A = this chain, B = another copy of it.
Amino acid sequence: MKSIQIDRSKRLKEEPHLGHNRWHPDIPPVLEVDQGEEVVLETRDASDGQIKPGMTVDDLGGLDTKVAHPLTGPIYVNGARPGDLLEIEYLDILPQPHGWTRNRPGAGFLRDVFPEPYLVHWQMAHGWAVSPQLPGVRIPDGSFMGTAGLAPSHTQLLAWARREADLVRRGGIAFPPDPQDAVPATEPIASQALRTIPPRENGGNIDAKQLTRGSRLLVPVNVEGALYSVGDGHFAQGDSECCITAIEMGATVSLRFRLLRGEAARHNIRFPRFAHPGYFNPPEWAAPRNFIATVGMPIREDGTQEGEDLTLAARNALLNMIALLQERGWSRQQAYILCSVAVDLRISNVVDLPNVTVSALLPEDIFQG
C-alpha cells in the first residue's frame, strides 16, 4: 500500500519534499499511483503544527501567518489527463488527538463583531471531541478534509491570479501570491503560486462538511497526472465555518482514485462536485443519506471575481445542479422544478474569501418512482 508519512514533530518547511502550501502546476509529485490503488496520506493541521495543546491567545502572536494550508502531495495519478474528471473516494479519515478552533482578528464572517482573538482546544477520542473551554459540549466525529484539490494549469494560474487582483482593485478582499512562508520556497514558484485560502475550480479549500468517510469528490483534471494534494483536516464543522476555523486537526486519510475519462470536457464541468452514497455509515449529523452535490462560488459567467457574495454563489451552485440534471436527461425546466422541490442549498463556507461557497445537494432517493 502506498503512503506518505510525515514527521509530526517537524514543520512543513522542514519536509518540503512531502508537501506544499500553495497551488502551482510545477510542484513535483511526491508519489505516483494507479487508479483503484489504496493510498494513505498523513496530513498536517492548518497551523502547520504551530498551535499546540496548552497554548493561549497570548502565544498566537509570534506564529508564522501565511502557512495555510500545509498540504500533503502532490500525487501523480497515472493516466490522468486534462478533460478527465478525477473521483477521489475517501475510505477513511482518522483524526489526531488534538484539535483547535480560533477566531483570528480581521478574519471570519463576523470580523467586525468579533475583533478579538480567541482560542479553544479540543481533545478527540472514541468518536467525540470535547473541550475544557466548552464544558458540557460533545461533538461527534464528522471528520473530513477541508482542503483537497488538483494542480491548476499555467493558464488557470494566471487567469485566477488576475481575476483576484482585479477584485482587490475594486475594493474586495483576496489574497494575492505571497512568498512569505511559502512552501516550496523556491522561485519563481513561491511568488507565482496561488494561496490556498479560497477554493476554486480546482477544488481546494471547499470546506464542505459532507465530505466525510465514504464520500466522493469529483474534480476536473487540469494537468497530466492530475496532481492531487490534501490537508486541513476538520473533525467537525457547521455548514458555513463562520469564525474561519473548524475543529482543526492533523489527520490520516485513506483514499483511492478513479478516472472518468473525458467526462469534464464532455459535459463542460468546470467546478467540483461531491457525493455520498450513504449506506450505513455517515452520522446523520454530518451528511444526509445518498446525495450528489454541485458547488457555486462568486465568480461571474464572464470570469469576473466577486467577493463574499453568497447570492452569486447560490446562483452558481444552482446553475451547476441544473446542468448536472440535464446531463441525466432531464429538460432545463424539469431540472429547475426538481431543484425547487428537492434540492437543498447549504452554505458550505462563508469565510474562504473571496470564494465563499454554496453547495446544492440533490437526494438521490427521489429517483425510485
A binding-site residues for B, Cβ under 8 Å: 91-92, 101, 103, 108-110, 113-114, 116, 118, 120, 125-127, 130, 133-140, 213-214, 236-247, 254, 279-281, 283-285, 288-289, 308-311, 314-315, 318-319, 322, 332-334, 336-347, 350, 356, 358, 363, 365-369
Q: Which of B126, B334, B346 contacts A345 (CB 8 A)?
A: B346
Q: In the bound complex, what is the Cα–Cα distance between A109 and B288 (angstroms)?
A: 25
Task: Using CB atoms, name the residue of chain B closest to A368.
Answer: B138
Additional A-B contacts beyond A92-B127, A346-B346 (10; CB < 8 A): A92-B126, A110-B315, A110-B322, A116-B333, A127-B213, A238-B341, A239-B343, A240-B339, A309-B311, A310-B314
| Chain B residues whose C-beta falls within 8 Å of the C-beta of A363 in the assembled complex | 285
Q: A308-B311, A314-B109, A369-B130 are in contact. Are A336 and B242 (CB under 8 A)?
A: yes
Q: A110-B319, A139-B341, A238-B344 are in contact. Are A288 and B280 (CB under 8 A)?
A: no
Are the CB atoms of B369 and A358 closer together than 8 Å? Answer: no
A315 to chain B, nearest CB (A): 7
Task: Using CB atoms, name the residue of chain B closest to A238.
Answer: B343
| Chain B residues whose C-beta falls within 8 Å of the C-beta of A281 in the assembled complex | 127, 140, 283
| Chain B residues whose C-beta falls within 8 Å of the C-beta of A116 in the assembled complex | 333
Task: Using CB atoms, name the residue of chain B closest to A254.
Answer: B126
| Chain B residues whose C-beta falls within 8 Å of the C-beta of A337 in the assembled complex | 101, 103, 118, 120, 133-134, 243
Task: Using CB atoms, name the residue of chain B closest to A307.
Answer: B311
What's the number of copies of this chain in the assembled complex?
A: 4
Q: In the bound complex, what is the Cα–Cα distance between A253 and B356 (angstroms)?
A: 38
| Chain B residues whose C-beta falls within 8 Å of the C-beta of A247 in the assembled complex | 341
Q: In the bound complex, what is the Cα–Cα distance between A246 and B283 (angstroms)?
A: 25
Q: Which of B108, B135, B138, B318 contacts A110 (CB 8 A)?
A: B318
Are the CB atoms of A139 and B239 closer together than 8 Å? Answer: no
5 residue pairs, one from A and one from B, having the closest CB atoms = A310-B310, A239-B344, A243-B340, A345-B347, A136-B369
| Chain B residues whose C-beta falls within 8 Å of the C-beta of A237 in the assembled complex | 340-341
| Chain B residues whose C-beta falls within 8 Å of the C-beta of A314 in the assembled complex | 109, 240, 310, 347, 350
| Chain B residues whose C-beta falls within 8 Å of the C-beta of A241 in the assembled complex | 340
| Chain B residues whose C-beta falls within 8 Å of the C-beta of A130 in the assembled complex | 369
Task: Using CB atoms, name the residue of chain B closest to A332.
Answer: B114
A100 to chain B, nearest CB (A): 10
Task: Using CB atoms, name the residue of chain B closest to A277.
Answer: B368
Q: In the bound complex, what is the Cα–Cα distance between A345 and B114 (angstroms)?
A: 19
Q: Which of B238, B285, B332, B346 contacts A280 (CB 8 A)?
A: B285
Q: Which of B127, B138, B280, B346 contacts A347 (CB 8 A)?
A: B346
